[in-house]
Structure 1
Amino acid sequence: MQHSPAPPGPDGAPEATAPRMTRRAVTAAATAAALVAGAAAAFVATAPDARADAPPGIHVADGRVVEADGTDLVLRGVNHAHTWYTHTTGSFADIKAAGANSVRVVLSSGDQWTRNTPEDVADVVDLCEENRLVCILEVHDTTGYGDTSAPDAATLDQAVDYWESLYPTLAGTEDYVMVNIGNEPMGNDDATNATWADATSDAIVRLRDIGYEHALVVDAPNWGQDWKNYMRPAAAGVFASDPDANTIFSIHMYSVYNQHQTVTDYLEFFTGAGLPIIVGEFGWQQTPADVDEDWVLSEAERLGLGWLAWSWSGNTDPYLDLVLEFDAANPSAWGTRIIDGPDGLRDTAVEASWFGEGGEPTDPPTDPPTEEECTAVVRVVGSWPGGWQGELTVTAGDAAVDGWDATFTLPEGSSVTQAWGGETTTGADGVHVTNAAWNGTLAAGASATAGFIGSGTAPAPAPAATCSAG
């Protein structure tokens, strides 16, 4: 949906709000809830065919979202309205510190809001990687296409045009970046919604033809809530249209989902059909209607499904702000529920294993804190005959650091020939990497990365690294 929430007018359309962020309400929410709750038995889905070769990076396997190595990836994160607040880059570290393992980032193709450039998107992706967050990028300009209350909304085809311009930026990031083709791509116009399956399938095929091997995420119509059941019966066919069999469905749960059974029926339809689904957005309320947010969280945990709460901060009406004024030290009641409540971020989020030491909850450990000022990890990103690429990740300990220095030893016959993200020297005790001017100050638990090219054969395993604070 568009953001922040707007109360519905008498015809079900949203009232006027500030152009920055507006949330669309759904017509006849109470009736819709009954329709969604009772409709599951009417649809029969065919389990998707398996593909012989799994795509690189994050992908779908047996109806589940997994990492390249087959590790289950259960998204536990928040939405961040980056396109309207491009200066709030510190939010990525704050979101990680709140326990999230992922962030859904609002981008604009320029059709409704100011276009995010490839350079800006590259910075977002770097921030996600530095903070060890799976990055779900979405184009927001498609929100409500075909609805009279969204006259400037873009089509999914226009969204793919934008993704085509970003392909050189995003190629090779499949391990930690997912492409959410278009946010809530259609409103409540029935004729437009009837085209959802074909338009979505066409967008998927175009992205594959461009070269995208990322996991693709597709939002439901009806402002993301699918209260008239357009996505549910068509999902198997849309999944089958993806030659990579790597498409994930996303439902947004607001006022339509105000009863236990409505939530359960929708999610279990997909899991029963072997189709991957996440809750891409949800809140605790959609003015003026309630949402059964506790049940959304508990059912997602029971079924092992991902979710991303709306939203970190910046809503025009802040009742859905998780933190107020982008201040991580000032969470709202909604934020406290999501961050520290049962089935919330600290309770359930597990960091993606690709980042090097996954498999551990992202909440602070219960053991006594260590005295380490910082830690450093080196990993091999890729290799070729005669050379390889490495990445160094430095993470602050229990206190902030102002400058860092990492050291590691390369095997005989290998040396650093090029480096970025830090000042690199080689001495008798190994390779030293000190922070660059822009990444030396780290909050407690925050991370920075530096990269380098090595000559010779890539070491296996990657060399151990040590770190000291400057």
Structure 2
Amino acid sequence: MRRIRAAVATGTLLAACSAPLATAPSAQAADAPGFHIQDGRLLDANNKDFVMRGVNHAHTWYPDKTDQALKDIKAKGANTVRVVLGTGDQWSKNDTADVNRVVSQCKANRLICVLEAHDTTGYGEAGAAVPLSKAVDYWLSVRDALVGQEKYVLVNIGNEPHGNTNYTAWTNDTKSAIGRLRSAGLEHTLMVDAPNWGQDWSFTMRDNAAAVLAADPDRNTLFDVHMYGVYDTPAEVSDYLNRFTAAKLPIAVGEFGDMHSDGNPDEDAIMATAQSKGIGYLGWSWSGNGSGVEYLDLVQNFDASRLTDWGKRLFDGANGIKSTAKEASVFGGSDGGTDPGEGACAVTYRLSDWGSSFNADVTIRNTSDKRIDGWKLGFAFPGQQKINSVWNAKAVQSGAGVHITPEPWTNSIPAGGTVSFGLNGSSTGANTAPTSFTLDSRTCTVI
């Protein structure tokens, strides 16, 4: 995000492009010293699935606000903060000592720290922007602040590294940047932003992600899309993100807002889709926006007690940070997961029946005030239905009885939150929805 964003080219709809993504290269053994990618998921140093839920903070422009901002961001429930840094090319350089201090403050507040170099924003279109190669120079210059922090830090190589001009260079530029950082010994998860001011309306990142991941010798690259005006319908949001997850390519939404000058992003769809798919998201931004995009502030004047409407939506709304964030296991403490007690669930089973075959979309809602881990859902089909495949969960069927267990990325249901999965099956005769469900042997409400 920059303070004045160029208009995004129009006329290209995400849902209109049907070219499939290549499948991700086979995952290597999870032997990285810190965060790492495996089977399209971001895992922490304890091999635990980690889903980013947090915000962006403009440290390079407001360094005197950072210490308090990180405390307040954590208090609002976030598990991650994406920190804006300057390389010295367009904005004042945040040197090794300053990066050290930021990382220390993130750790003190039990926040995972995504460090991003902002000076690349809109390269090729924004006159003052610099190429990714300059961002690599910067990371190498502050290398001493990064090495040894792989458990707590992700390196976001360069913010929105191409505008809407010459964006086809993104693939080779990104491969080169990753190669240089790996050659220098950086073993962190590397986060790479999409071109087109981060929004990838051209699908350049989407269609080349598998090749970029394969070019990383550590196979430890996380892709980052920024969702603003291009993503103004649920179909566009889900189409883009689903193509990554279906191909087992790791993706996060590193920036998004509830409105923007290039259109009105569908923040509800972004948050709901991210939650259902176990995809990380980071709202833009804590405070300090100017030049006409002040509406993107989450709090007014860095005052945590003065949430804006956007802040209330992101932190407290459906699929928001407060109800879905889970602290990284590398910090060692408990984050509240426990037995939810009786009457703790509600289930929605939405059936799409085509005679001899059907799909069902199932949502489990945790109606308790405690997180549910490692859930087991049971139900019985009322007729002659047989499951053929399942996504976002695992299924065992014995006669009419069905037992569903989670995938790693759907393992936890936050207090007041949901997880969703789908199934495809065949049927003979009448096909109706199950009438009762149990979650860990407790009867759920059917809605």
Please indicate the TM-score interval, normalised by the length of the shorter structure: 0.7 to 0.9
- 1:65 corresponds to which residue? 42
Question: Is the 1:2–1:24 contact (alpha carbons within 8 Å) kept by the matching residues of 2?
Answer: no
- 1:177 corresponds to which residue? 153
Whole-angstrom distance in 2 between the partners of 1:187 and 1:138: 17
Question: Is the 1:142–1:185 contact (alpha carbons within 8 Å) kept by the matching residues of 2?
Answer: yes
- 2:264 corresponds to which residue? 290
1:359 shift after superposition: 4.5
Q: TM-score, normalised by structure 1?
A: 0.70
Structure 1 position 346 matched with structure 2 position 295: no
What is the aligned counterpart of 2:119 among 131, 141, 161? 141
Question: Is the 1:25–1:286 contact (alpha carbons within 8 Å) kept by the matching residues of 2?
Answer: no
What is the aligned counterpart of 1:304 among 273, 278, 283? 278
Aligned residues: 335
Q: Percent identity?
A: 53
Structure 1 position 230 matched with structure 2 position 204: yes
- 1:369 corresponds to which residue? none
1:360 shift after superposition: 3.5
- 2:351 corresponds to which residue? none
- The 5 A counterparts of 1:17-416 are 22-28=4-10, 31-32=11-12, 34=13, 36-39=14-17, 41-52=18-29, 54-88=31-65, 89-147=67-125, 150-189=126-165, 192-287=166-261, 289-316=263-290, 317-360=293-336
Instruction: Report SS of the residue matched to 1:286.
Output: coil
Uncovered stretches (5+) of structure 2, i.e. residues with no partner: 341-447
Whole-angstrom distance in 1 between the partners of 2:19 and 2:316: 38
CA pair 107-208 structure 1, distance change in 2 beyond 3 A: same
Uncovered stretches (5+) of structure 1, i.e. residues with no partner: 4-21, 366-470
1:44 shift after superposition: 3.6
Instruction: Report SS of the residue matched to 1:46.
Output: coil
Q: TM-score, normalised by structure 2?
A: 0.73
Whole-angstrom distance in 2 between the partners of 1:338 and 1:286: 15
Instruction: Report SS of the residue matched to 1:83.
Output: coil
Query: What CA deviation, in whole Å up to 9, does each residue of 1:217-262 have, x standing for no partner?
Result: 0000000000011111100000001000100000000000001110
Whole-angstrom distance in 2 between the partners of 1:42 and 1:238: 17
Whole-angstrom distance in 1 between the partners of 2:244 and 2:101: 34
Whole-angstrom distance in 1 between the partners of 2:23 and 2:311: 38
Whole-angstrom distance in 2 between the partners of 1:344 and 1:105: 20
Whole-angstrom distance in 1 between the partners of 2:311 and 2:328: 22
Whole-angstrom distance in 1 between the partners of 2:63 and 2:287: 12
Question: Is the 1:352–1:358 contact (alpha carbons within 8 Å) kept by the matching residues of 2?
Answer: no
Whole-angstrom distance in 1 between the partners of 2:206 and 2:110: 32
1:289 shift after superposition: 1.8
Whole-angstrom distance in 2 between the partners of 1:352 and 1:225: 27
Query: What CA deviation, in whole Å up to 9, does each residue of 1:182-213 have, x standing for no partner?
Result: 00000001xx2111111000100100011100
- 1:438 corresponds to which residue? none
Q: CA RMSD in A?
A: 1.3
Whole-angstrom distance in 1 between the partners of 2:108 and 2:193: 27
Amino acid at match of 1:181: I
CA pair 220-288 structure 1, distance change in 2 beyond 3 A: closer
Instruction: Report SS of the residue matched to 2:119.
Output: helix
1:46 shift after superposition: 2.4
Question: Is the 1:222–1:228 contact (alpha carbons within 8 Å) kept by the matching residues of 2?
Answer: yes
Compare 279-288 and 328-337 and name the one that shifted more: 279-288
Whole-angstrom distance in 1 between the partners of 2:98 and 2:87: 12
